[in-house]
Amino acid sequence: MKKIGVALLGLGTVGGGTYEILTKNREYFIKTQGIDVEVMHVLERNTKRAEELGVPLGIVSTDIENVLNNDDIKIVAEFFGGIEPARTFLLKALEKGKSIVTANKELYSKHWHEFEAVAAKTGAGLYFEASCVGGVPIIRTIEEGMQGNRIEELKGIINGTTNFILSSMDEEGASYSDALKRAQVLGYAEFDPTADVEGFDAAYKLSILSSLAYHKRIPVDKIYREGISKIQIEDLNTAKDLGYTLKLLAISKNKGDSLEARVSPVFVPSSHPLAAVKGSFNAVYLKGDSVGDIMLYGRGAGALPTGSAIVSDILYAARQSEHRRYPFMLKDEDVNISNDFTSKYYIRVAALDEEGTLGKIANVFGKRNINIDVVLQKQPRSRENVPIIFVTGKAKESLMQKAVSEIKQLSGVREVVSLIRVEE
Active site residues: 205
Beta partners for residue 268, in sequence order: 245
DSSP 229-267: TT--HHHHHHHHHHTEEEEEEEEEEE-SS-EEEEEEEEE
4 vs 166: CA distance, rounded Å: 43
Closest by CA position to 26, among listed 61, 51, 1: 1
Reduced to 3 states (helix: H, G, I; strand: E, B; else coil), residue 353 is: coil
DSSP state for residue 45 in the 8-state scheme: S
26 vs 24: CA distance, rounded Å: 6
Contact 205, 133 (CB under 8 A): yes
* Angle, helix 13-24 to helix 26-33, in steps of 10 degrees: 60
Query: Which distant-in-sequence residues (6+ apart) come within 8 Å of 130 by Cβ?
Result: 14, 101, 102, 103, 306, 307, 309, 310, 313
Reduced to 3 states (helix: H, G, I; strand: E, B; else coil), residue 65 is: helix
